[in-house]
Amino acid sequence: MPALLAKSLRDYRRSLIGWTVGIGAFFALYLSIYPNISENQDIYGAQALAKYPDVLRDLLGGLQDFTSGLGYLHSVVYQLFGPMLFIGCAAVLGNRAIARPEESGTLELTVTLPVDRRRLVAERFAAVALGLLAVAAATFLLAWGLAAAVDMDVPAGRILAAHTGAFLLGLFFGTLALAVGAATGRRGAATAVVGALAVGGYVVETMGRNVDAISWLRWISPFHYYLDGRPLYEGLPVGDYLVLAGATAVLLAAAVLLFDRRDVGI
């Protein structure tokens, strides 16, 4: 393993452990209460949920079939909260790749080493991707085990498909944070861009299904390529996930070019 990649992963280890524990706790909490949901059709059934405001139901994925394992996982775990946790984790890692060390002054020492700038960005990205993949793998195993333990009756392949999407969505936003950091050297700018696009993209994708004025924006929202394929219901949406992966590759290329041409103060 390249030395810079190995060092980056060592630097990330505490964050990775913390995010794994945090995301795992989220899955454990919400999956553990599923039996109570499924047993109370009068409170959580279709007729009860139809009384919720349309806007709220849109934001939570429609709240359809909420008392089934698939419906519960889709609405509560993989619709909003799960992917947002992955985005938060990836954004932290992406910020630590370039922007944080530049603000702290340690990046200047790194770029004086006999390491090509393009290679530096590529290896920092690889550390973000591998770190996020480790978090995704650990939390997938937990989600799969808990879903089986509470009799959700959801195939492991469907959970893997949704988890893969959450990983790719998180990686896109982590690479966006890295790219903005490479362009500006500022964590605040990267955090603001990631936050605005994540919130705006989610609102556009969910509300745009029923609001014609913004429906066209769904095609440029990263969340569209995560949610539209309905991986829990229909399996791995290969085409949509390839779009997310391709967009991530474009952001990485932009980060490499921007950082290669920018003065970082040495």
Quickly count: other Cβ atoms within 10 Å of residue 188's Cβ: 12
Phi first, then psi, for residue 22 (nearest 5°) are -65, -50
CA angle (4 as vertex; 262, 195 as ends), nearest 5:
55
Please indicate whether residue 111 or residue 15 has the higher confidence score (pLDDT).
15
pLDDT band at 22 (very low <50, low <70, confident <90, very high): very high
102: in domain: yes
pLDDT, tens digit, for every residue of 152-187?
A: 999 999 999 999 999 999 999 999 999 999 999 899
Is-contact 110 82, C-beta < 8 A?
no
Q: Is the pTM of this model over 0.85?
A: yes
Sign for the pseudo-dihedral over CA of 100, 135, 225, 65: negative
Cα–Cα dist 82/260, whole Å: 34
pLDDT band at 110 (very low <50, low <70, confident <90, very high): confident
pLDDT, tens digit, for every residue of 126-142?
A: 999 999 999 999 999 99
Based on the structure, what is the number of domains in the chain?
Answer: 1
pLDDT averaged over the chain? 88
Q: What is the pLDDT of residue 2?
A: 77
245-248, Cβ contacts within 8 angstroms, sequence gap of 24 or more? 245/168, 247/172, 247/222, 248/168, 248/171, 248/172, 248/175
In one-letter notation, the amino acid at residue 170 is: G
In one-letter notation, the amino acid at residue 165 is: G
| pLDDT surpassing 60 at residue 98 | yes
Please indicate whether residue 124 or residue 7 has the higher confidence score (pLDDT).
124
193: in domain: yes
Cα–Cα dist 42/66, whole Å: 12
154: in domain: yes
152: in domain: yes
Query: Which residue range forms the structural domain that includes residue 182?
Result: 3-261
Structure tokens that stand for 240 in this block: 């949509």
214: in domain: yes
181: in domain: yes
266: in domain: no
H-helix segments, 33-80 = 34-38, 41-44, 46-49, 54-59, 69-72
In one-letter notation, the amino acid at residue 211 is: V
Structure tokens that stand for 93 in this block: 């890692």
